[in-house]
Amino acid sequence: MALRRRLLAALSLFTAATLAGCAGEDGGLQSPKMALIKARGQLVCGVQGTLPGFSSVDSNGRYRGLDVDICRAVAAALLGDPQKVEYRDLTPSERFAALASGEVDLLSRNTTLTLSRDAAGGNGLNFGPVVFYDGQGVMVPKARGITSIHDLRGKPICVETGTTSEMNLADRMRELQLPYTPLKFQTSDQSYAAYLQGRCAAATTDRSQLSAKRTGFPNPEAHVVLADVLSKEPLAPATVNADPLWSDAVRWIVYALMQAEEIGITQANVDAKVAMAKQDPNQADLRRFLGIDGELGRHLGLPVDFAAQAIRAVGNYSEIFERNVGAGSVLKLERGLNRPWSQGGLHYAPPFR
Amino acid sequence: MASAPWWRNRRLLPGLIQALVGLAILVLIAFLVGNLVRNLTAAGLLLSWRWLAMPAGFDVSETLLPFNAELPYWRALLAGLVNTLRVVLLGLVGATALGTVIGTAAFSSNALLRRLARAYVELIRNVPLLLQLLFWYFVVFLSLPNADEAIQLPGLVLAKSGLYLGKTELLNGVWQGSLRLTLEFGALLTGLVIHSAAFIAEVVRGGVASVSGGQWEAARSLGLSHRQTLGRIVLPQALRVIVPGLNSQYISLAKNSSLAVACGYSDLYSVAETTLNQTGRAVEVVLVLLGAYLVIDLVISALMNCLNHRVQIQER
């Protein structure tokens, strides 16, 4: 039952805290989480699971999406094999307890980075780099004649419980002094089912998610995402606070994907680039990045060629974006803010040195 | 004075062992609580209740208690609790009435009625409640027509915007009624009543069956009708067996109401879930939740024990 399952997740956190021994021995450069993942031979990754473009199961039973590719990149960098991932579908309200209790190693589940989720006094997570800059939007059926958020006065709006969408909706509607009825559901499937049945005048969540879900509707053309943007939604992978080495490793694996786009390394040319860099001792930056010189990977507790491994598995950020949510996908989202900084976007990897 | 040594003392020894085991349990609890506090402190998550007084910042869709996003979290949880109590109380009444009818129908002289009652019980109690709730909400209630094509019955209007009872009228395309129930509440209440009634029917059937056949025969020989026999002779005697069984069913119903979140009703569990996600105070919120359901169930249990005491044979 829902209650039992949710309680279990929270209680396992409670129990873990109750029974955990007096940890805190100085382990040097040893990350307990990374040691566990290596011993297990598998990365357990928490995903949404039903969101086309970010994480969903394709007709062959394989997980696909931008969030999934982050999991695959981390598995490739750490274990040398992008297949060594076990995916767990999590609801918005399960996700943090699942991460805190150690049920998943990495949360790559279109999760918005906020202060209270990051802070030790709040959810106590550790966020990696933002992998998708999003904003909250509102979707309505075209036939209803709603053109802006102001037309939703007094109307029921479907929203998922345990999300930033729920809070932003409350804030914006209060700001605009618009009374409304929030209808809250635990999973996105329930929320969209109620919306499609006509119980809600609108559904609200991140704009990318609205576009993604719309592709699965019986008649996608009958629905439109309003121009109103309710909030900033930077989506980022997260790990627990307690293991900074693991968090650092995830952060730099994601940065490696962005750096690869910036310097033009792709899934197709990565091996050629490695061979070329090996020949040419003058390519200092490239040699460090690909692990030919220096020990950058070792500093993180990863193999020296972690960046090359990740790129070989999933390609650079641009390839991941276009394949899953961009031109090469059904979503056809614009890159917008998700371009690299050199092209006017927000993705910026710090130096690999 | 007997000269047996103290370890042979049959009065002292069991007491001593119980005291030791009790002490061991206390030490274990103290150790676990201490460890919990130590680890939560280390993780910076020491129990804190200050969040209860902070503004909730989210809305609750339907409340008996007035609520808005500026009120503190404890008011939100209270509003959720009132919503839970509302569905539990109405659910108890409805499930008891329906369950009694179906349970006694198993003794009807009408063969069709008997079989229908049997089929009802077997069908309902073998399908998970969550599925039933999803069915009632998504398949039945959400298929109701829009306001302009609403189903109109005397004193009752059914539309996608809600269930309107009492005096109803259509004003500017919006229905008004003396009492409006949301579809979410309607679906949850229907699901809980139908589900619990199947179990209560079995309890009632068991209770009635426990009354000896001689009572039926005696009543019939006095010229009482089937209904009189059931109502005046058999059911009062069956209550003794029924009430303790009902107690568990009532408690189940109260706990099952937490599945409300499946059909979008804002009960205590749903509000607590939002609170948990916003505050990140997982342990505290779960403790509140555990405490609230425990109190609800203990109150139900206490009332039922009182009732049980009343219906037992008073011996002089």
Q: How far is CA A298 from CA A34, A81, B67, B229, in A?
A: 13, 18, 55, 86
Q: Which residue of B has its CA nearest to A184?
A: B264
Average pLDDT over residues B236-255: 93
B135 touches chain A (CB under 8 A): no
Is residue A244 pLDDT above 80, yes or no? yes
Mean pLDDT along residues A240-244? 91
DSSP category for residue A337: G
Count of Cβ atoms closer than 10 Å to residue B240 Cβ: 15
Sign, CA torsion A49/A50/A51/A56 = positive
Instruction: Count CB atoms within 10 A of the CB of residue B90.
Output: 16
* Rounded Cα–Cα distance for residues B96 and B149 (Å): 34
Percentage of chain A lying above the pLDDT 90 cut = 72
pLDDT at A122 over 80: no
User: Is B283 near chain A, with CB under 8 Å?
Assistant: yes
Q: Sign of the C-alpha dihedral, residues A118, A124, A125, A126?
A: positive
Q: What is the pLDDT of residue B197?
A: 97
Residues A99-104 have a mean pLDDT of 91
pLDDT attached to residue A23: 40
Taking residues B241-248, what's their average pLDDT?
93
Lowest-pLDDT range of A335-349, B2-16, B111-125, B298-312: B2-16
Alpha carbons B126 and B107: distance in angstroms, whole number: 22
Share of chain A above pLDDT 70, in %: 92
pLDDT range class, residue B14, cuts 50, 70, 90:
confident
Average the pLDDT over A251-280 and give the result.
96
Q: Which residues of A touch B290 (CB under 8 A)?
A: 7
Residue B238 to residue B308: CA distance in whole angstroms: 12
Q: How far A327 CA lies from chain B's nearest CA (Å)?
A: 34
Q: Is the pLDDT of residue A2 over 60?
A: no
Q: Please give the pLDDT value at position A79.
A: 96
Interacting residues of B191 by C-beta distance below 8 A, sequence separation 6+:
B129, B132, B133, B135, B136, B137, B263
The residue to which tokens 């049997």 are assigned: B118
Distance of CA A212 to the CA centre of its chain: 14
CB proximity list for B223: less than 8 A, separation 6 or greater: none
For chain A, the residue count is: 353
For chain B, give the number of residues.
Answer: 316
Confidence of residue B199 (pLDDT cuts 50, 70, 90): very high
Strands (E), chain B: 151-153, 156-159, 162-171, 174-181
Q: What pLDDT was estimated at residue B180? A: 85
Poorest-confidence range of A301-305, B117-121, B145-149?
A: B145-149
Q: What distances in angstroms separate CA B217 from CA A38, B45, B111, B208, one per listed residue? A: 76, 68, 20, 14
Whether the pLDDT of residue B173 is over 80: the answer is: no
Sign for the pseudo-dihedral over CA of B14, B18, B19, B24? positive
Task: Find out if CATH 2.60.40.10 is the number for domain A1-11+29-131+236-353.
Answer: no
Q: Give burial (CB, 10 Å; 0-12/13-18/19+) of B35.
A: middle
Q: Please report, for chain A, the start and end positions of each structural domain, with discontinuous segments joined by +.
A: 1-11+29-131+236-353, 136-230
What residues pair up with B299 in beta bridges, in sequence order? none
Rounded average pLDDT over A194-219? 92
Evaluate if residue A18 carries a pLDDT over 70: no
> How many whole angstroms separate alpha carbon B6 and alpha carbon A288?
80
- pLDDT higher than 50, residue A196: yes
pLDDT over 80 at B304, yes or no: yes
Q: Is the pLDDT of residue A28 over 50?
A: no
Q: Which amino acid is at A280?
A: D
At residue A24 the predicted structure's pLDDT band, cuts being 50, 70 and 90, is very low
Locate A33 and state its tokens: 């989480």
3-state SS class at B33: helix
The pLDDT-based confidence of A22 (bands split at 50, 70, 90) is very low
Any idea where the domains of chain B sit in the sequence? 88-264
* B316: closest CA of chain A, how far (Å): 47
Average pLDDT value for residue range A346-352: 95
What is the per-residue pLDDT across A31-74, written as a single tens digit (0 to 9) for each? 999 999 999 999 999 999 999 999 999 999 999 999 999 999 99
Beta strands in chain A (DSSP E): 43-47, 50-51, 55-57, 63-64, 85-89, 106-107, 125-127, 132-141, 156-160, 181-185, 202-206, 223-225, 232-235, 238-240
Q: Which of A2, A163, A170 sits opposite B262 (nearest CB)?
A: A2
The yes-or-no verdict on residue A123 having pLDDT over 90 is no
Q: What is the CA radius of gyration of chain B?
A: 26
Q: Mean pLDDT throughout B3-10?
A: 76
Q: A132-141 and A223-225: which strand pairing?
A: antiparallel
Interface contact B29, partner A, CB < 8 A? no
Residues of chain A positioned with their CB less than 8 A from the CB of B37: none
| Cα separations in angstroms, B179 against B96, B155, B185, B223 | 23, 10, 13, 45
- CB spacing of A161 vs B273 below 8 angstroms: yes
Strand order in the sheet with A85-89: A85-89, A43-47, A106-107, A238-240, A125-127
Class of A136-230 in CATH: alpha beta
Tokens of B289: 């939740």
Pair B162, B62: CB distance under 8 Å: no
- Give the pLDDT score at A62: 95
Q: At A162, is the pLDDT very low, low, confident or very high (cuts 50, 70, 90)?
A: confident
Q: Which of residues 200-239 of A touch B (CB under 8 A)?
A: none
Instruction: Quote the pLDDT of residue A142.
Output: 93
Q: Which residue of B has its CA nearest to A22?
A: B39
Q: In what order do the strands lie in the sheet with B156-159?
A: B151-153, B156-159, B162-171, B174-181
Residue A83 CA to its chain's centroid (Å): 18
SS3 content of chain A, % helix, strand, coil (to 5): 45, 15, 40
Q: Which residue type is seen at B279?
A: T
Nearest-by-Cβ selection for A11 from B42, B130, B286: B286
At the second CATH level, the architecture of B88-264 is Orthogonal Bundle (1.10)
Question: What pLDDT is recorded for position A272?
Answer: 96
Task: Compute the nearest-CA separation of B174 from chain A (Å).
Answer: 12
Q: Provide the pLDDT for residue B166.
A: 81
| Chain B residues lying within 8 Å of A10, measured CB to CB | 276, 282-283, 285-286
Query: Which tokens hold the place of A242?
Result: 């307690």
Nearest 5°: the CA angle A126, A130, A135 is 115
Give A284-330 pLDDT, tens digit per residue.
999 999 999 988 999 999 999 999 999 999 999 999 999 999 999 98
Chain B 31-50, residues with CB within 8 Å of chain A CB atoms? 32-33, 35-36, 38-40, 42-45
Residue A112, helix vs strand vs coil: strand
Task: Please give the pLDDT value at position B227.
Answer: 87
Strand (E) or helix (H) holding B266: none
Look at A92 and B277 and tell me if their CB atoms are within 8 Å.
Answer: yes
Which of the residue ranges A325-339, B60-74, B275-289 has the most confident prediction, judged by mean pLDDT? A325-339
More confident residue, A86 or A124: A86
Residues from chain A contacting residue B277 (CB–CB below 8 Å)? 92-93, 96, 161-163
* Model pLDDT for residues A129-157, shown as the tens digit of each residue: 999 999 999 999 999 889 999 999 989 99
Q: Which amino acid is at A92?
A: P
Parallel, antiparallel or unpaired: strands A232-235 and A132-141: antiparallel
Q: Find the farthest-apart pair of alpha carbons in chain B and give their distance in angstroms, rounded.
A: 96
Q: pLDDT grade, residue A186 (50/70/90)?
A: confident
Render pLDDT for B261-276 as a digit per residue (tens, 0 to 9). 888 899 999 999 888 8
Cα distance between residue B228 and residue B218, in whole Å: 12
Strand partners, A176: none
- Indicate yes or no: CB of B39 within 8 angstroms of CB of A17: yes
Q: What mean pLDDT comes out for the span B59-69?
A: 85
CB A313 within 8 A of CB A307: no
Q: What is the pLDDT of residue A126?
A: 95
Report helix, strand or coil for B159. Answer: strand
Look at residue A7 in the predicted model and tell me its pLDDT: 53
Tokens of A286: 């490239």
Place of tokens 């829009």: B146
Three-state SS for A223? strand
Question: How far does the CA of residue A195 sit from the closest CA of chain B (Å)?
Answer: 10
Domains A1-11+29-131+236-353 and A136-230 share a fold: yes
What is the structure's pLDDT at B74? 94
Evaluate if residue A9 carries a pLDDT over 60: no
- The highest-confidence range among A84-93, B63-72, B147-156, by mean pLDDT, is A84-93
Closest partner CB to B44 (pick from A100, A121, A183): A121
- Which residue has tokens 């998708």? A132
pLDDT at B273: 87
Residue A207, classed as helix, strand or coil, is helix
